Amino acid sequence: MGDLAKDVIAFFEADDWPYQQLDDDATVLQTATQGASGAWNCFVQIREAQAQVIFYSVCPVTIPKPQRTAIAEFLTRANSGMVIGNFEIDLESGQVRYKTSIDVAGDQLSHALMHNLTYANVLTMDEYLPGLMAVLADDTTPKEAIAAIESSN
């Protein structure tokens, strides 16, 4: 197990985030979170050789094919102007994720950096999930959903 993996595990343990290793060398960890808008799984990919940590929140709903274009528009609108992280959709599987990442080459991953990486991620997913669900339910257009989210900030 590399130093980055040890740092990520130390963060999870210090902040009482339950997690499980998905591989023997702890390069992929899974956890889950509960926000005001729902519950979802999160994954951490640790790239020791590149000194990178990537944190993903996975939307709890897989997007059906007929609605992927509308959701892709919603995510593109959400990403516009986003400073930390981005949404992405796998157009083949319909999986939506929010991704934050950090490169710590020449330094080390501190508790504060890991905190910022994870909490910015889950708070953003929690903020945008209701809009995504409204678009998915055909209750609103992607543009209307984003305007509603951004006007409440």
Residue 152: per-residue pLDDT: 79
- Supply the pLDDT for residue 10: 96
Give pLDDT tens digits for 38-56.
999 999 999 999 999 999 9
Question: Which of 19, 40, 121 shows the shortest CA–CA distance to 8?
Answer: 19
Q: What is the pLDDT of residue 23?
A: 83
How many CB atoms are closer than 10 A to CB 113? 16
**pLDDT digits 0-9 by tens, 62-90:** 999 999 999 999 999 999 989 999 999 99
With a cut of 90, say whether residue 153 has pLDDT above it.
no
pLDDT at 56: 98
The per-residue pLDDT for 19 is: 95
Distance CA 32, CA 18 (A): 8
pLDDT > 80? residue 123 = yes
**By 3-state DSSP, what share of the chain in percent is helix, strand and coil, each rounded to 5?**
40, 25, 35
Number of separate domains in the chain: 1
Residues 16-28, mean pLDDT to the nearest whole number: 88
Q: What is the mean pLDDT of the chain?
A: 95
**What is d(CA 96, CA 102) in angstroms, rounded to the nearest whole number?**
20
pLDDT score of 111 = 96
Name every residue whose Cβ is closer than 8 Å to that of residue 116 and which is 6 or more positions away in sequence: none
**Which of 59, 58, 60, 53 shows the shortest CA–CA distance to 115?**
53
- Give residue 49's domain range: 3-151
Q: Is 96 helix (H, G, I), strand (E, B) or coil?
A: strand
CATH number for the domain harbouring residue 16: 3.30.1460.10
Q: Write out pLDDT tens, residues 139-151.
A: 899 999 999 999 8
pLDDT over threshold 90, residue 24: no
Q: Which H/E stretch holds residue 145?
A: helix 142-151
